[in-house]
Amino acid sequence: MNPVLAPPASASLIRSEVAGLPLYDPGADTDEVAALSGSRRVIKLSNSENPYGMSPAVAEALRLGLAGGVSRYPDPTGKRLTEAIGKSLDVPARRIVLGNGSENILELLCQAVLGPGDLVVTQAPGFSLHEIFPRVMGARVQKVPVTAEFGFDAAAWRSALAAGPKLVFLANPCNPTGAMLNAGQLEQFLAATPQSALLVLDEAYGEFARPNPEYPDGLEALRGQDRPWIVLRTFSKAYGLAGLRVGYGIASDAALIQALDRVRTPYNVNQQAQDAAVAALGDHAHLADTVRRTGLEVARVTERLRGAGLRVVPSSTNFLFIDTGCPSDRVAKELHRAGIIVKAWREPGYENYIRASLSTPEDNDVFVRCLTEICAKDKP
């Protein structure tokens, strides 16, 4: 008989909101997958990382910054970076906030705005932190489902928004589906969102969608709106700075930024990240080349997977949302044996889907071959 273990002493101290939270899933550990597969090189497609790397200008900025040492604290205001962002977007620097990745700003927004019982509306399937951070604060979260074709369900959004949420999250393009709202759909969404709600437009993958003439610039759509809003962007994806963790938000007014400053840690973005982001922002050619090459791979891999009989959601990002036709956990584990990491989606209703961020053409060819072989085993 197994002894009954007493709960740890700390258990009674943990807030109920925290105890019931799901853990964020970063994907499988590369060392464990390498050991399982026996492969020296793991193909990691789970975290939307840029396979083409950082700009040469970033590498030089990091070299110069490290030559000066790391014994001093970073600029707590991020003045040089906020001014560079402000200049590029024609926005005053006082309306820009920096974060340790844009997800840090999501956390700050929830800390500054939400209290127990407040209503948050977001989309489903969606980015897990759009749900986790509000629940940490004791808020209620209502998810608005996509249509059967993974499109924008205007009627469902109108119904959810009519309940009077305090905070609204919308990702455009959507993570994990890769789908985007066009200008008309964004206009419908804005018209339905109460003026009293804080609207958070998450454009973490916007750089990949901007070549599409139908993709609306959320900042331009919101500039003249008399409502509280913030547009979130990041240097982690298209700019290739995921390891440095730097994102930013452009807000409707400086008062919202001041509220975020009250809850953020004073040195939340390290100096190397600030310097690298300034350099990345100035290298338009590297960004354009990354977006171009990514778009070609998204189109090519989508065509190959569909040709193999798999359902793939049309993507405006650097990743694909794929219906494997069988439990995604099982597919992911089989891919691990081949040295490939994807993210198995576990949100209710989408348990057969995986999200795979694309890599180089060579890596993507290995992924397509392995995935189609795995999925073919389950076909009659």
The verdict on 177 and 74 lying in the same domain is yes
Residue 40 has a pLDDT of 82
Residue 352 maps to a domain: yes
Closest CA to 247 of 122, 112, 106, 113: 106
Residue 254 has a pLDDT of 97
pLDDT tens over the chain, length 380 residues: 456 666 787 888 888 888 888 888 888 889 999 999 998 889 999 999 999 999 999 999 999 999 988 999 999 999 999 999 999 999 999 999 999 999 999 999 999 999 999 999 999 999 999 999 999 999 999 999 999 999 999 999 999 999 999 999 999 999 999 999 999 999 999 999 999 999 999 999 999 999 999 999 999 999 989 999 999 999 999 999 999 999 999 999 999 999 999 999 999 999 999 999 999 999 999 999 999 999 999 999 999 999 999 999 999 999 999 999 999 999 999 999 999 999 999 999 999 999 999 999 999 999 999 999 999 876 65
Residue 269 and residue 100 in contact, taking contact as beta carbons nearer than 8 Å: yes
The verdict on 189 and 40 lying in the same domain is no
Residue 103 and residue 249 in contact, taking contact as beta carbons nearer than 8 Å: no
- Number of Cβ within 10 Å of residue 170's Cβ equals 24
Residue 326 maps to a domain: yes
- Report the alpha-carbon distance of residue 195 to residue 200 in Å, rounded: 13
The verdict on 321 and 331 lying in the same domain is yes
Q: End-to-end alpha-carbon separation of the chain, Å?
A: 45
Residue 24 has a pLDDT of 82
Residue with tokens 């001014």: 83
Residue 79 maps to a domain: yes
Residue 167 maps to a domain: yes
Closest CA to 245 of 259, 216, 265, 230: 265
The verdict on 252 and 292 lying in the same domain is no
The verdict on 79 and 141 lying in the same domain is yes
From 229, 255, 283, the end of a domain falls on 283
Residue 2 has a pLDDT of 59
Residue 4 has a pLDDT of 64
- Token pair of 258, please? 């001041």
Q: Tell how far CA 72 is from the center of its chain.
A: 31
Closest CA to 189 of 170, 163, 209: 170
Beta bridge partners of 150: none
Residue 305 maps to a domain: yes
The verdict on 60 and 165 lying in the same domain is yes
The verdict on 248 and 293 lying in the same domain is no
The verdict on 193 and 253 lying in the same domain is yes
The verdict on 105 and 249 lying in the same domain is yes
3-state secondary structure the chain: CCCCCCCCHHHHHCCHHHHCCCCCCCCCCHHHHHHHHCCCCCEECCCCCCCCCCCHHHHHHHHHHHHCCCCCCCCCCCHHHHHHHHHHHCCCHHHEEEECCHHHHHHHHHHHHCCCCCEEEEEECCCCHHHHHHHHCCCEEEEEECCCCCCCCHHHHHHHHCCCCCEEEEECCCCCCCCCCCHHHHHHHHHHCCCCCEEEEECCCHHHHCCCCCCCCHHHHHCCCCCCEEEEEECCCCCCCCCCCCEEEEECCHHHHHHHHHHCCCCCCCHHHHHHHHHHHHCHHHHHHHHHHHHHHHHHHHHHHHHCCCEECCCCCCEEEEECCCCHHHHHHHHHHCCEECEECCCCCCCCEEEEECCCHHHHHHHHHHHHHHHHCCCC
Residue 205 and residue 218 in contact, taking contact as beta carbons nearer than 8 Å: no
Single pTM value for the model: 0.94
From 283, 316, 347, the end of a domain falls on 283
| Integer CA distances (angstroms), 254 to 220, 260, 276, 278, in order | 18, 10, 25, 22
The verdict on 39 and 67 lying in the same domain is no
The verdict on 168 and 24 lying in the same domain is no
Instruction: Tell me the one-letter amino acid at 262.
Output: R
Residue 269 belongs to domain spanning: 56-283
Residue 3 has a pLDDT of 60
Residue 377 has a pLDDT of 79
30: domain CATH number is 3.90.1150.10
235: domain CATH number is 3.40.640.10
Residue 13 has a pLDDT of 86
Residue 9 maps to a domain: no
Total domains present in the chain: 2
Residue 1 maps to a domain: no
Residue 212 and residue 180 in contact, taking contact as beta carbons nearer than 8 Å: yes
Give one word for 152, left, alpha or beta, with left for phi > 0 and alpha for psi -120 to 50: beta
From 223, 254, 283, the end of a domain falls on 283
Residue 6 maps to a domain: no
The verdict on 211 and 131 lying in the same domain is yes
Residue 378 has a pLDDT of 64
- Token pair of 87, please? 């200049």
